Structure 1
């Protein structure tokens, strides 16, 4: 099979309705290397980069409540900083660049996906409107 390892995807493929930060960016713990007194941060197996994660809510209105929140892992040498929240809104919209998904079978025997990214950025709303305007012309 030609596909091996993480599968490259775009943000729009994973979150066509956008997504919103619903928690803090935290270091992912390496459970094999950590001890009770000495936690060790996980590193990505392919790149060796430190792994962080942030919980996000998928904006897809058709998802059930239990399916809406997912963790996106971010590979970065330093802790990523979320974009500024929208004034007057409890939600912080976010986009991710250089994304991959890795399918796996979870503990309940169901297919699941690990989502990774290299960057977390503010949504590019102006760029989407520009592309739509050009496409319509």
Structure 2
């Protein structure tokens, strides 16, 4: 458990560095789509802190793949669920997504498609690296 907490914290801190960058991209996208502009310094600070926590949790939970007692399928399921709950909580908390059926369904579909694409890319990359190492051996 100690090792998991250490890995979670380390990975979370690395990922949290991308929080403000992601927030900036989000603000630009929102601004160009619906001319959204934060109204106060408090709102901007809340969003920055939220994006840091969101990235910390999303990055940290990848430590679940280092837990040897879990199968890849279970670890992936835990990772996907924790990240989804993390994202949906902060998106709703900051009013980045409306609390109504259609926006939540669109968010969920985008999340699932994005997660699967990223997971498959990483899986294929790791598989190729393993094959390369096996060939050298």
Give the TM interval when normalised to the shorter protein. under 0.3
Q: What TM-score do you get using the length of structure 1 for normalisation?
A: 0.24
Q: What TM-score do you get using the length of structure 2 for normalisation?
A: 0.24
